[in-house]
Amino acid sequence: MQTAENVIRSIHQLPEEEKVKLAFHILQHGIMGSIGDDTPEILDLYQWQSEIAKEPFNLKEASEYLGISEVTLRSWVKKGRLTACNAGRAYIFDVLDLKRFKKEHRIFGAQQA
Return d(Cα 93, Cα 33) in angstroms, integer: 35
Residue 110 lies in a domain: no
42 and 75 fall within a common domain: no
Domain count, the chain: 2
Ramachandran region, residue 61 (left: φ > 0; alpha: ψ -120 to 50; beta: rest): alpha
DSSP 69-90: -HHHHHHHHHHTSS--EEETTE
80: CATH: 1.10.1660.10
The predicted structure's pLDDT at residue 39: 47
* Residue 80 belongs to domain spanning: 55-105
Residue 19 lies in a domain: yes
Between strands 57-58 and 85-87, the pairing is unpaired
Q: Is 55 exposed, middle or buried (0-12, 13-18, 19+ CB in 10 A)?
A: exposed
Tens digit of pLDDT at every position of the chain (113 positions): 778 888 888 888 888 888 877 777 776 666 654 455 554 555 666 676 677 667 889 999 999 989 999 999 999 999 999 999 988 888 999 988 998 898 888 755 444 44
Helix (H) or strand (E) holding 91: strand 90-93
